[in-house]
Structure 1
Amino acid sequence: MTDERPVVTDLTDVYRSLAALVGGLTEDDGWRPTALPGWSVRDLLVHLLGDAQRALVAFGTPAPGPADRDAVTYWAGFAPSAPDPARRNRQIRVIRSLAVAHPWEALTETFAETTASVIVLANRGDPAGLLGTQGHTLTTDDLISTLVVEAAVHHLDLLTGLDRPGPPAGALRVVRETLDGLLGRPQPLGWDDTTYALTGTGRRPLTDEETRRLGDDASRFPLFA
């Protein structure tokens, strides 16, 4: 077997970290709120499981190309300036119905098994191979990068009210690089990677001083949500 590519290592670390986090929670913990208003831990875990299942499908869905998204521009479709409230409401209703239908232990075990499979296929994939997902075409490694970002940000969401470790440093670095790409420059405020992840995705509001220092770029926050 070849050595893991850095982006696959980041995916491996963040998925294993997430699996350990939810695997250490109880049935009651599954009903705790997260940083996403109205979303419980169960709801968010079902969403993350769906993302991992989508990845499995994508790895089996080669696309003719050319790529129309990369690891940064993929997130343009998730900008707050282009919301689809009806679609989001439908998604939340489906997620909640699935969240209550599965025993907690089965849900956490399925998540661990599914993400482990994603890691195996991610490592086997051609880094420059083209894959289709959500109506777009990305290279394998760009798709993997988006999975890392999604997992790292939602790992932070799950920590509300819990004394548990945060996402791995490598995964947060990928989030930072993605946010810098969307911003068009490295963020100038000296935020650590966790603060930048929370602020860049709308989990933490800008302070008045940060708004002043960002200038025109302040109106672009959150960069995606």
Structure 2
Amino acid sequence: MSADLLRTTYADLSGLVTGLTAGEGDRPSGCAGWTVLDLTQHLLDDARRGLVALATPAGGPVTSDAVAYWRSWQPTPDEDDGTAWRTRVRASTTGGLANLAPLYAGTAAAVGVAAGRVDAGERVGTQGWVLTAGDLCSTLAVEAAVHHLDLVADLDRPGPGPAALAEVRRVLEGLHGGPLPAGWDDATAARRGTGREPLTDADRAELGTAADRFPLFG
């Protein structure tokens, strides 16, 4: 199931990216300080990481899963700034979306093929963690779905599919330890759960002291 979800999520994102114009690459994204072009470079980096991970069998016990993986993803402002700067420098050398978008689409398609060839229970390694391949696929799909929302934040383009957003919500509720506010649709849950959108006073009243733990990952 996770491999199918990843393929669909990546296909939707590839369709978006390859359909963007050169001028849209300079538009802001939902990641503060990142343009659409910068974020596309980051997406390519993540797809490459996924491709390597799916081809890297890991020994030893599983050390993380589709939810716990995100507990470690709480970068400091300095780390965020450093990542953004390095990504922007590399994106600036690509020649724009005309070159970067098809490279991303090809890599994303390869990830989908690789995911289908690995048993969901096989252990793989990425970023110092050992996960099952199924849980790795979930983490890749969640990141892709959140960044799909980021890409369209300032564009009149379709967002991620409902299955991808439902997986983001499932992971966020796992991190939260219970249901998120019922009044949030899945896209709102993704934006507020990751700090893209601030909590309202009504949200804070409903969440109580748990509101202090937001964003659940950044």
Q: TM > 0.5 between the two?
A: yes
Instruction: Report the TM-score, using the length of structure 2 for normalisation.
Output: 0.96
Q: How does 1:86-105 map to 2 (within 5 A)?
A: 86-103=78-95, 104-105=97-98
AA aligned to 1:25 is L
1:180-215 Cα distance to aligned partner (Å, 9 max, x none): 100111113331101100110001111111101111
Distance in 2 (alpha carbons) for counterparts of 1:190 and 1:223: 18
Distance in 2 (alpha carbons) for counterparts of 1:157 and 1:72: 21
Is the Cα contact below 8 Å between 1:10 and 1:170 reproduced in 2? yes
Once structures 1 and 2 are overlaid, which stretch shifts more, 44-53 or 212-221? 212-221
Cα offset for 1:47?
0.4
The ranges of structure 1 where at least 4 consecutive aligned residues each deviate by more than 6 angstroms after the TM superposition are: none
Q: Calculate percent identity across the aligned residue pairs.
A: 49
Provide the residue aligned with 2:106 in structure 1. 113
Cα offset for 1:35?
1.2
Cα offset for 1:60?
1.5
Matched, 1:183 2:179: no
Is the Cα contact below 8 Å between 1:36 and 1:157 reproduced in 2? yes
AA aligned to 2:90 is L
Instruction: Report the TM-score, using the length of structure 1 for normalisation.
Output: 0.93
1:130-151 Cα distance to aligned partner (Å, 9 max, x none): 1110011100000000001000
Distance in 2 (alpha carbons) for counterparts of 1:86 and 1:221: 19
Is the Cα contact below 8 Å between 1:149 and 1:174 reproduced in 2? yes
Distance in 2 (alpha carbons) for counterparts of 1:69 and 1:194: 25
Matched, 1:65 2:60: yes
Distance in 1 (alpha carbons) for counterparts of 2:41 and 2:131: 24
Question: Matched residue pairs, number?
Answer: 217
Matched, 1:7 2:15: no
Distance in 1 (alpha carbons) for counterparts of 2:60 and 2:120: 14
List gaps (5 residues or longer) in structure 2.
none
Is the Cα contact below 8 Å between 1:34 and 1:157 reproduced in 2? yes
List gaps (5 residues or longer) in structure 1.
1-5
